[in-house]
A and B are shown apart, each in its own frame.
Chain A
Amino acid sequence: MRALTPPARDPAPSRLAYRFERLWLTPLFRKALLRGGPVLLIAALPGLWLTDADRREAFAGQLATLRHEIATRPEFMVKLMAIDGASPELDEDIREVLPLDFPVSSFDLDLEAMRETVIGLDAVRSADLHVRPGGILELTVVQRVPAVIWRSDNGLELLDRSGNRVAPLARRIARPDLPLIAGAGADRAVPEAMALIAVAGPVRDRLRGLVRMGERRWDVVLDRDQRILLPERGALETLERVIALDQVSDMLARDVRAVDMRNPARPTLRLAPGAVDELQRIRRLQAGANEG
């Protein structure tokens, strides 16, 4: 015999509980709540704390102080600048354009901007900036090497092989080893000028310089006011031809004012004013006529 018990209370859920249970079993909702909920909470706490302006200000101040404390530690201080590969004048120029009062924190140095400034100098081809351990700001500079002297309206200037300005020059005689070019726009054609000067090797001792004519072609100026007018295109080959002619027939040593090669198909010689009479006299002599 067994004791009889009343049936257990019916466990029907309320509509709300039922709906909530179904919502809870929805995978998207569940994931959003389980993963997104804590993230939202963690993000909301500091957000709520920062809503007050005073707190925000104090917090920003604290942050700034902390940053300053770290930045001014001796490990991060730069005490001097070492410049490699620069002439004494360039060294001075660089120190002038980089006004740093040491010691300064390496956090406050904008190395990229400083490098741009240094490269902005005419005489600097490239520069490297490093902060070395020990608080040394190391600046390695490659200088531009002057290749030609350019005489322009602004006076004499030194240019490197690619036509960049290196430095102004006071007098031509200060750098007698460098060739001279002149004329407007000559600095934009320095590589061609260098090639022409190299080709003109055999007449080097007579070469006075190159003149840029109308910003498009070169004249080679020799002493005795002799000129070789080169064409706009193929100047190098034309000059080679002229040099070859000179070596065969000694042309340039004669009384010629100009060798006009502007049209390479039709070379023209311009003789000196007395030379034409002299030539006709010689022709007559050769023909057997009597003098007088």
Chain B
Amino acid sequence: MTDLYQSQRAMRRMRQQAMERGVIAILDVGSSKIACLVLRFDGAAPAGGEGVAALAGQSRFRVIGAATTRSRGIRFGDIHAMNEAERAIRTAVQAAQKMARVRVDHVIACFSGANPRSYGLDGAIDLDEGQVGETDVARVLAACEMPPIGAGREVLHAQPVNFALDHRSGLSDPRGQIGNRLACDMHLLTVDESAVQNLVHCIKRCDLELAGLASSAYVAGISSLVEDEQELGAACIDMGGGATGLSIFIKKHMIYADSVRLGGDHVSLDISKGLQVPLATAERIKALYGGVVATGMDDREMIGLGGDSGDFERDSRTVSRAELIGIMRPRVEEIFEDVRARLDAAGFEHLPSRQIVLTGAGSQIPGLDGLAARILGQQVRLGRPLRVQGLPQSATGPGFAAAVGLCLFAAHPQDEWWDFDIATERYPARSLKRAVRWFKENW
């Protein structure tokens, strides 16, 4: 646990260094594409003054380079062929660097796979003094009981989502307030350790320093949910290529995240198998003619499949769009049913506002919101990521929700457990002894 604490603090330090240097790269490692954005922080103070900054703090940075490449070696959001993944990351980073005309050394990455699992923790302490201080916050976070997350799992996010002081709950920042008993709720997101290590290794091999890690479901939620939705309770469903991530927000904090290991690639695979066409062709006709609601018009719209046999005269098959929709719809329904199961397990129906926002490249299938409304609930909308300065037009689509969210995450990180100093009583005696010895030797 201390190991993780140290490594996360090291990443935080790296991020601060990158901020000082002014250039940081954003890497969205997805199953169908890898996006890399290069941000320049000019350090200008946000115009909003104290408290919430103007434009949620995103006026502080500017995207100066953007590149996307077809991802390889990644399946279900996890790396399964290291060399291929490394080459793909290299391609994206190099192209973005070239566009930005600047060398980047620090990168913040997000990924969708690695079986994320959410835990809600709570802890409480009695305050020594009447006033809540910085150390008290650290102590109450340390007082949260660690659930058995299992072997080979790693904590990715550990965010305090709520503080309660005596009988008053819902405090976002208890510091400086008076009370006797401080309690906190923490949201813990764990992922498979091996998947994270693979990603870290890939990024190391590209000569880059990792300055942060995030779950793509979380960052997609940051960028595509509007402020009211984050406040009142909403779920963001990020429909990627190999995995569909979902994250639930309330009171501007993520309280649940999960992912379904199904995505757009499975739809393409179904088309490829059903129509007996190459995967690339299947992908193409899915993007150009795909849909989930068939109408009478679709029976008459014929799609040419072409053929690889070389005999163009004989091998020129066509299918109607209705047939294509007939293949796609069951798979999309299956994805939504899985998502629905996860939402039910998380208790989504108890939220005051049950807004559902579909984002990710998969959400561009025509008629998807209608289908989602039937399965997930009435309040469904299609979300696109927030606009950030300097983002090229080609990177403003819903497929870049995670990348843009990661930009916002880099500019305005949520307080995590490791952002607070470790509570003094948790320090091992050994390190105290070491400190004493250091003082003796040096003074």
Tell me the bound Cα distance from A22 to B93 in angstroms.
10
| Residue among A3, A11, A12, A19 facing the most chain B CB atoms (10 A cut-off) | A12
Q: B284 contacts which of A4, A15, A19, A26 (Cβ < 8 Å)?
A: A4
Chain A residue at minimum C-beta to C-beta distance from B283: A7
Q: Is the CB of B306 within 8 A of A21?
A: no
Q: Is the CB of A13 within 8 A of B94?
A: yes
**In the complex, which residues of chain A have a beta carbon less than 8 angstroms from the beta carbon of B206?**
18
**In the complex, which residues of chain B have a beta carbon less than 8 angstroms from the beta carbon of A133?**
none
Total A-B residue contacts, Cβ distance less than 8 Å: 50
Q: Is B88 interfacial (CB-CB < 8 Å)? A: yes
Q: Is B274 interfacial (CB-CB < 8 Å)? A: no
Q: How would residues 76 to 89 of chain B score, 1 for a CB under 8 Å from any chain A CB and 0 otherwise?
A: 00000000000110
8 A Cβ contacts from B69-106 to A: 69-70, 72, 87-88, 90-91, 93-94, 97-98, 101-103
Q: Is the CB of A4 within 8 A of B101?
A: no
Q: Is the CB of A10 within 8 A of B70?
A: yes
Tell me the bound Cα distance from A13 to B305 in angstroms.
33
Tell me the bound Cα distance from A282 to B264 in angstroms.
154
Q: Is B173 interfacial (CB-CB < 8 Å)? A: no
Q: Is A25 interfacial (CB-CB < 8 Å)? A: yes
Q: Is the CB of A21 within 8 A of B280?
A: no
Q: Is the CB of B103 within 8 A of A22?
A: yes
**In the complex, which residues of chain B have a beta carbon less than 8 angstroms from the beta carbon of A22?**
94, 97, 103, 207
Tell me the bound Cα distance from A25 to B70 in angstroms.
24
**In the complex, which residues of chain B have a beta carbon less than 8 angstroms from the beta carbon of A12?**
69, 87-88, 90-91
Q: Is A2 interfacial (CB-CB < 8 Å)? A: yes
Q: Is A6 interfacial (CB-CB < 8 Å)? A: yes
Q: Is A248 interfacial (CB-CB < 8 Å)? A: no
Q: Is A1 interfacial (CB-CB < 8 Å)? A: yes
Chain B residue at minimum C-beta to C-beta distance from A8: B70
**In the complex, which residues of chain B have a beta carbon less than 8 angstroms from the beta carbon of A21?**
94, 97-98
Q: Distance (Å) between the CB of B323 and the closest chain A CB? A: 15
| Tally of B interface residues using CB under 8 Å | 25
Tell me the bound Cα distance from A21 to B65 in angstroms.
15
**In the complex, which residues of chain A have a beta carbon less than 8 angstroms from the beta carbon of B280?**
4, 6-7
Tell me the bound Cα distance from A19 to B206 in angstroms.
9
Q: Is the CB of A11 within 8 A of B91?
A: yes
Tell me the bound Cα distance from A3 to B304 in angstroms.
8
Q: Distance (Å) between the CB of A10 and the closest chain B CB? A: 7
| Residue among B88, B90, B97, B280 facing the most chain A CB atoms (10 A cut-off) | B90
Q: Is the CB of A13 within 8 A of B90?
A: yes
Q: Is the CB of B70 within 8 A of A1?
A: no
**In the complex, which residues of chain B have a beta carbon less than 8 angstroms from the beta carbon of A4?**
280-281, 284, 305-306
Q: Distance (Å) between the CB of B90 and the closest chain A CB? A: 5
Q: Distance (Å) between the CB of A14 and the closest chain B CB? A: 9
Chain B residue at minimum C-beta to C-beta distance from A17: B94
Tell me the bound Cα distance from A18 to B206 in angstroms.
8
Nearest 9 A-B pairs (CB), nearest first? A1-B304, A25-B103, A12-B87, A4-B306, A12-B91, A18-B90, A26-B103, A4-B281, A7-B280
What are 29 A-B contacts defined by CB distance under 8 Å?
A1-B302, A1-B303, A1-B304, A1-B318, A4-B280, A4-B305, A4-B306, A7-B70, A10-B72, A10-B87, A10-B91, A11-B91, A12-B69, A12-B87, A12-B90, A12-B91, A13-B90, A13-B94, A18-B90, A18-B206, A21-B94, A21-B97, A22-B97, A22-B103, A22-B207, A25-B97, A25-B98, A25-B101, A26-B103
* Residues of B bordering A, CB below 8 Å: 69-70, 72, 87-88, 90-91, 93-94, 97-98, 101-103, 206-207, 280-281, 284, 302-306, 318
Given contacts A18-B206, A25-B101, 6 further A-B contacts (CB under 8 A): A10-B69, A10-B70, A11-B69, A12-B90, A13-B91, A18-B90
